[in-house]
Chain A
Amino acid sequence: MAEEIHLTLKEKRAEKKYFKEHKSHVKPTFGDVVFNILNYLFFGLFTLSCLFPFYYIFINTISSNEYINKGAITLLPKGLTLYNYIQMGRVNDLWNSVLVTFIRTFLGTALMVFASALAGYLVTKKEMWHRKFWYRFLVITMYFNAGLIPWYLNMAMLGLTDSFAAYIIPGIVSPYNIILVKTYIESIPGEIEESAYMDGASYWTIFHKIIWPLSKPILATIAIFGAVGHWNSFQDSLILNANSPELYTLQHRLYIYLNQSSNLAAMVNSSTSSADTAALANMMSTKTIQYTISMVTIIPILCVYPFMQRYFEKGLMLGAVKG
């Protein structure tokens, strides 16, 4: 932790220094001004292209369907309403998927983090029986892949099709994360552990009383990556649980809605009992259904992201060290 703060301070100082020096003695030439304008313009526009789609989808979900159907929503919402969200709230499939996705994200991430921490700790212990062999046994799995179909057949053989366990169990052991944790634990001074061992602490005690708390920064990082991975996962639901709609993840559900939402529009709208014209004008179209579900899917990531960006970047840098 201390190291990290130190680094960021150093970085900041370097940045400030750079900033100062470049400002102090250079009088901007015409070329500089043009370059700066173009540069700011480019990055401004690119950032906008990353933000605008989310904004556009959002304003469409909070506008009245009357305007949306007329194609009147361009840059600002019109006729603010939460109707779309309320309507979508009645679709049980969607809630089911939200629940499945939340549970798999929490459970899957927790188990993965625990297993990575334990394995990362154990492979640092030189006295383990054939440690090198087992470490390689784990690491090698990152570089080969039997292929999609053998993987599917294997999962079917293990009975992990049409089951919730298919989301959790295969992801528990993640060699990449184990390497990250191992590298981090190796940077913890060995004396702490040594002294605990001398006092008669077992490996398990050392792990959960010393190693676990000390490696929290790296565990937070892999947890965040793992959680995003679980939230975004789509293939396992698509391939393994195709016949169990009650187990579809949110992304899979969204994919289905994006491809065939005309039935869905009928379904959602049929739950509206009143048939007067105002209600009809306010019925959800295919488009608003797609937008609303997209928003439901993306909001958790957008909410969490700004706070966690630090961890994401750190995770990337750690990975880079390892190559």
Chain B
Amino acid sequence: MAATNTSAPAKDIPVKKKPKVVPKTASERIADKIYWVLRLGIVANVVMLFFPAFNPARISGLINKNLSLFTCGVSYNSIVANFGRALRQQWVQASSFQELRWIALLVVFAVVVAAAGGCMSLGSNKLKKLGCIVSFAGGVIEFFAMLGIRGVYNDVVAQARETGRLKNISPMLPFINKVYLAFAVGIAALSLVVFFLIPRLEKNAKFEMEPRFQLFLMMLPIIAFAFVFSYLPLYGWRYAFFDYKSGETLSMEKFVGFKWFTSLFQNAATRRDMLTVLKNTLAMSGLGILTSWLPMAFAIFLSEIKNLTFRRFVQTFTTIPNFISWVLVYAIAIAIFSTDGFINTMINSLNNGGAAATTNYLQNDDHMWLKMLAWGTWKGVGWSAIIYIAAISGIDQGLYEAATVDGAGRFAKMWYISVPELIPTYCVLLLMSIANILTNGMDQYLVFSNAMNRESIQVLDLYVYNLGIGSGLIPLSTVIGMVKSVISVTLLFAANGVSKAIRGESIV
């Protein structure tokens, strides 16, 4: 905690001046310690909102175990997803669950209020006092909301007992409900304690906060988003260790340790699939790496074109494919190569009266790797070349002039001047593509895959999708994803190490 207590600056003194440091009183120091408990508690409470394991609103066995309190508050439908029959037959009243939803939302609101109070605790004493009141209010609201959940629970029990369907509804009051109550009481109590520990305010006290905490609080929402969408998914890795089927609930009985990891190698069917998939992945990435010089060549040859209008024209239109989605690329593929696409139409119109050409070039398995490479190149080469084009325009023209004087021809100049100047850029991109060798992306292969080419088009990303989303084999696909992530990160750092060793510059 900051050991400063800003006194209010008079109007004519620039804010930048260091505020006078007022020594803290003993009670303030105790308050600071309690604050840490309070803040940690509030953060824990916020996090708990998002974890299904800590859902105090799960008052019936029928409520999905994978619902967090936050989700309950946001969507009524998710609460009653499994209640179709129970609601239709009036075993329980829909209104109770509506109530439950609004109470869940109230809890979320209460925790947000408490968190706002916690944020204010980073400010001056006046702000701290206000923050205490706010988080006290949050705690109290949360407390009553928890009592509300108990009330709804009692209602549901009464309704179910009346209709004799207690077993079907299996009402329960999760233990976490008590934990929430404890949190609510704790937050309210600690806020009150701190409120009285902070010394009486001076007359000219102001709401203010040190710059470092102001900045941090402005940053906080962004940090929270990054946490929720980039770090929280890692929590999903736990599925790799359970026997889990989509829609089921996760419990310790289903813990299977490394079963799925070993099944990757021991199960014959999985092993065969994995081998094919890895072969495809490495082949397509490998072809990509082997042809990664194409954009450089494209740029070098393009710079040989002296007509600026034409060059600009080429540059503009060869970059367009990069900005359309793979679905659209597939639409183009259909327009050109399918049974009644351009190629067949053209052949038929030239060969009037002959046998109609009806080859569907997309529905076969020939040279799939090369075809995918060709589509990828068509889509990306113009765009990738731009970076080299810019680099070429930065090359010292004197080099070319000197070479011309020495009698170097066009190709000699390309090979001995342009290429060496572009190699550093190329190396960085090459290292990146080696680090990404297991990541081909899914879109391209998904849109082009069909019954005929399934075997030779399935890359790792697509396999994970087909396995996890398509077949619902969540643990196995999680395992594959995990292994892939770990290998990719390792490769990236290896590539970075290589880059540092060779060029003295890091690429990440």
Contacts and interface: CB of A to CB of B under 8 A. Distances in A.
Interface stretch (A92-100, A214-222, A269-277, A305-313): A305-313
Interface string A39-52: 11011101101110
A150 B383 contact: no
B213 interface: yes
B70 A158 contact: yes
Given A39-B304, A153-B239, A254 B212 contact: no
A251 interface: yes
A291 B213 CA distance: 56
B306 interface: yes
B287 interface: no
A234 B325 contact: yes
A72 B326 CA distance: 28
A60 B336 CA distance: 12
A213 interface: no
A264 interface: no
A287 B346 CA distance: 16
Contacts of A151: 233, 236
Contacts of B302: 43
Given A56-B342, A148-B468, A317-B390, A35 B327 contact: no
A141 interface: yes
A153 B52 contact: no
A198 B410 contact: no
B216 A157 contact: no
A43 B300 CA distance: 12
A297 interface: yes
A159 interface: yes
A105 B89 CA distance: 43
B347 to A, nearest CB: 10
Interface string A161-189: 00100000110110100000000000000
A148 B323 contact: no
Contacts of A291: 331, 335
A19 B324 contact: no
The residue in A290, A301, A323 that gathers the most chain B C-beta atoms within 10 A of its C-beta is: A323
Q: Which of B302, B314, B335, B393 has the most CB of A within 10 A?
A: B335
A320 B386 CA distance: 11
Contact of A73 (B231, B237, B325, B345): B345
Contacts of A235: 442-443
A118 B507 contact: no
Contacts of B51: 157
B401 A21 contact: yes
Contacts of B425: 320
Given A39-B304, A57-B335, A258-B334, A145 B488 contact: yes
A74 B78 contact: no
A207 B339 CA distance: 57
A254 B327 contact: yes
Given A15-B308, A232-B324, A203 B218 contact: yes
Given A22-B306, A56-B336, A175-B226, A153 B236 contact: yes
Interface string A280-323: 00000001001101100110011001100100110011001001
Contact of B52 (A143, A145, A149, A157): A157
A119 B393 contact: no
Nearest to B357: A71
B468 A154 contact: no
B26 interface: no
Given A130-B216, A159-B68, A197-B15, A148 B477 contact: yes
A258 B331 contact: yes
B235 to A, nearest CB: 7
A129 B213 contact: yes
Which of A130, A144, A305 has the most C-beta atoms of chain B within 10 angstroms of its own C-beta? A144
B57 interface: no
Contacts of B229: 154, 169-170, 173
Given A43-B305, A129-B212, A316 B387 contact: yes
B71 interface: yes
A125 interface: yes
Contacts of A141: 226, 230-231
Contact of B212 (A19, A128, A138, A153): A128
B201 interface: no
Interface in B294-325: 301-302, 304-306, 308, 310, 313-314, 316-321, 323-325
Interface string B398-409: 001100100000
A149 B397 contact: no
A80 interface: no
Contacts, number: 284
A190 interface: no
A227 B336 CA distance: 28
Most A Cβ at <10 Å: residue of B211, B230, B316, B348: B230
B331 A290 contact: yes
Contact of A42 (B14, B66, B301): B301
B349 A74 contact: yes
A1 interface: no
Contacts of B443: 234-235
Nearest to A14: B393
Interface string B343-374: 01110110000000000000000000000000
Most buried by A among B212, B222, B390: B222
A149 B481 contact: yes
B351 to A, nearest CB: 12
A228 interface: yes
A233 B320 CA distance: 17
Contact of A228 (B323, B332, B393): B323
Given A173-B226, A316-B383, A144 B316 contact: no
B335 A323 contact: no
Given A127-B215, A157-B68, A323 B317 contact: no
Given A53-B335, A159-B71, A150 B234 contact: yes
A50 B349 contact: no
Interface in B442-493: 442-443, 447, 461, 464-465, 468-469, 474, 477-478, 480-482, 484-485, 488-489, 492
Contact of A143 (B214, B404, B474, B508): B508
A126 B330 CA distance: 48
A146 B481 contact: yes
Interface in A1-43: 11, 14-15, 17-19, 21-23, 26, 31-32, 35-36, 39-40, 42-43
B378 interface: yes
A50 B485 contact: no
A255 interface: yes
B71 A198 contact: no
A293 to B, nearest CB: 8
Contact of B14 (A11, A134, A198): A198
Given A127-B211, A301-B323, 13 more contacts: A14-B393, A18-B397, A50-B317, A56-B335, A71-B349, A137-B226, A154-B232, A157-B66, A173-B225, A294-B328, A294-B331, A294-B332, A313-B390
Q: Which 3 A-B pairs have the closest CB atoms?
A: A147-B481, A150-B236, A159-B71
